[in-house]
Amino acid sequence: MGAFSYHAAHMAALTLAMLLALLRVCAAGNPPFSCGQGAPTQGLAFCNPALPPAQRAADLVARLSLAEKVSQLGDEAPGVPRLGVPPYKWWSEGLHGLSFWGHGMHFDGAVRAITSFPQVLLTAAAFDEQLWYLIGQAIGTEARALYNLGQAEGLTIWSPNVNIFRDPRWGRGQETPGEDPTTASKYAVAFVRGLQGSSPTVLQTSACCKHASAYDLEAWNGAIRYNFNARVTAQDMADTFNPPFKSCVEEGRASCVMCAYTTINGVPACASNDLLSRTFKGDWGLNGYVSSDCDAVALMHDAQFYRPSPEDTVAVALKAGLDLNCGNYTQVHGMAAVRQGRMTEQDVDRALRNLFAVRMRLGHFDGDPRGSALYGGLGAKDVCSPTHKNLALQAATSGIVLLKNDAGILPLRRGAVASAAVIGHNANDPRALNGNYFGPPCETTTPLQGLQGYVQNVRFLAGCDSAACGFAATGQAVGLAASSDYVFLFMGLSQAQEQEGLDRTSLLLPGKQQSLITAVANAAKRPVILVLLTGGPVDVTFAKGNPKIGAILWAGYPGQAGGLAIARVLFGDHNPSGRLPVTWYPEEFTKVPMTDMRMRADPATGYPGRSYRFYQGNAVYKFGYGLSYSKFSRQLVVSGTGNEAPNTNLLAGLAATPTADGGASYVVEEIGADGCEQLKFPAVVEVQNHGPLDGKHSVLMFLRWPNATGGRPVSQLIGFRTHHLKAGEKASLRFDVSPCDHFSRAREDGKKVIDGGSHFLRVGKDEHEISFES
């Protein structure tokens, strides 16, 4: 979000008009809610909840004047008093809790704090769809509660961010579920379903999947997001950048997609008819609206120079399928665009029907929302509830990744730590828990406070002046470490290194952090414990190979309960089960230009590729890596008989396309829905916890091709399951395998195909071959 400031004069005029309208409504004695009891509009079609939302929206739009219509095209929409339409603010955020960002929520009434969950990348490390759903549900509940209390002027939540974390330097990678399209897709579906609620007719809130598509650069080497032209192949769009948005709409039933600042192959995303109308609304069947990122329409003219005039710019965006502009550019220039013939009133009507249909589905035209049987009872008691606080703690503990545990230094035993030195700028800074897009948390527990609940004698030193660590109190830190029984280092990054508008230039820990850590480790009585609070990955090769650093944990930006979650993991009250949702690259990777959008490696030029699916270089830690305090075994079982056996003969009768390696491939579209259904089969992974502790275990199932030629990935995650097992317990985890979804790959033209011949399902080191006859 956020780019240029809004046109102040126009917004002042709109605000004044809204206030005057509200005063007139109150003076006339009209009810405060549209279509409420006794409202003069009560008998009109748009006030009839028995009618479909689209029909109600069309009726309302038909009653508006052109000026009234154009006024509704920005994220701050004024009211229409003569029809009882209240003002509305479209922009609210709920990335990992309700947020200060946006215009729709405020925290100055009965509710002054909300539940602050971990930043998304850490939550993604749990690989737990039910957890993601519950977090979305909790955020949606708290948004409705604020709305009922009069502290929200909108229920359209512009979350989640499901862009692919393509480059480890990206400042906003922390907001995403990581680098893998399958993980991001499943996160999108679970979170959106939770946020929007379970009712088939009334939305709890409206979710918006952003930022479509191929957006993953803020500012690097002179390239900035506002005018960056992402050159993306059809192959990469089909199998990397678009799948999370497709799942978000088709399976999650999101009611909004946000188009990005990005120009894709010369066309701004928010002016692309192919993307907005043909793909989002046509192929995927979006039932909702398309919003621009903030000021993206203005930037199409002012920074990207895509059209010669503001009127042409507004027209090309609306004609392409944009419904709402975050900002007021369409409100300012929309009337002139119609009068000059750049667009028609019908173009405006089409956008407004989509917008008002979503508001109908939110219950905004059903009278007082507090009377709603579904959500009317929600209030202050439902914000920061014990259930939500426990969920925030569960999310943080479930996501923490144990990267190193030499000689089983962890878990520690209560009472066995006589004294502890806690060193690091992230140890006692509540801001280090938040990440970005945060709101006021119910409560916070810093890592220092968390440890103080387990160890009586704790001494603290920040060590660095900030995450940048331009100054390090190395001498003091060494002295403290040498005189303490155990040493805990809380290091990493902050929003000063990675955030919206700011990409990193290095993957190393900033400033003097590395030298401070090494000096402390050398001085300590026993191997030290290093906890990293970061969004994106860091190159900690120095720590990975240093025997004086006994354990390394990645704790992301862990939210309000982060300090307690870290302490619970360190002392074995929680057995770590998180797995990295991104590859941790070495510093050498920073030689690769961020502006090179290619996912696939190019050995001829030395281009290494991106993500575990295509990267051909060395990794500090691999995607999916994570240790536990227990030993787990896994065995993959695929039935070879009966109805559950894979149907390996189905493709033989279909028309095939030759592949470069002499094989054959089959276009998924031509296999058809019935054929794809017949190809499905189950696979079971038998898991056992050999102890010594109870704990969750995430099983990741991959597909491997016999070779990675022809643009095939090295491997591809096809699914995951998370299960809690007591020490000694066994469980059978079922995976429903769909070859059309899981065994297909994208050709250079973007078409999905299944190769004939061998495919290998892989869980850990265990593989099972499936061979399709061709």
Q: Quick one: angle between helices 513-523 and 474-482, nearest 10?
A: 30
Q: Are strands 401-405 and 289-292 parallel, antiparallel or unpaired?
A: unpaired
Contacts of residue 607, Cβ cutoff 8 Å, sequence gap at least 6: 592, 596, 598, 601
Q: Is the dihedral of CA 303, 309, 314, 316 positive or negative?
A: negative
Residues 519 and 394 sit within 8 Å (Cβ to Cβ): no
Joined tokens for residue 741: 């979804």
Cα distance between residue 697 and residue 682, in whole Å: 20
- In degrees, rounded to 5, the angle at the alpha carbon of residue 114 between the alpha carbons of residues 112 and 119 is 140
Alpha helices by DSSP H, listed for 493-631, are: 513-523, 541-544, 562-570, 611-614
Q: Is the peptide bond before 160 cis (omega within 30 degrees of 0)?
A: yes
Cα distance between residue 190 and residue 579, in whole Å: 19
3-class secondary-structure state, position 460: strand
Cα distance between residue 570 and residue 529, in whole Å: 9
Q: Is the peptide bond before 611 cis (omega within 30 degrees of 0)?
A: no
Q: Which of 128, 293, 741, 755 is catalytic?
A: 293
Cα distance between residue 580 and residue 125, in whole Å: 6
Contacts of residue 52, Cβ cutoff 8 Å, sequence gap at least 6: none
Q: Is the dihedral of CA 267, 270, 273, 277 positive or negative?
A: positive
Cα distance between residue 63 and residue 421, in whole Å: 69
First to last CA, the chain: 49
293 is catalytic: yes
Please state the three-class secondary structure of 188-230 as a single string: HHHHHHHHHCCCCCCCCCEECEEEECCCCCCEECCEECCCCEE
Q: Which helix (H) or strand (E) holds 263?
A: strand 263-264
Cα distance between residue 258 and residue 245, in whole Å: 10
Cα distance between residue 461 and residue 473, in whole Å: 9
Residues 336 and 298 sit within 8 Å (Cβ to Cβ): no
Q: Which of 506, 444, 494 is nearest to 465 (CA)?
A: 494
Write the Ramachandran bin of 288: left for phi over 0, alpha for psi from -120 to 50, otherwise beta: left
Q: Are strands 401-405 and 263-264 parallel, antiparallel or unpaired?
A: unpaired
Helices (runs of H) and strands (runs of E) counted in the chain: 22, 29
**Amino acid code (one letter) for 744:** S
For residue 575, give Cα distances in angstroms to 393, 394, 572, 711, 727: 14, 12, 6, 39, 11
- In degrees, rounded to 5, the angle at the alpha carbon of residue 608 between the alpha carbons of residues 602 and 610 is 105
Active-site annotation, residues: 293
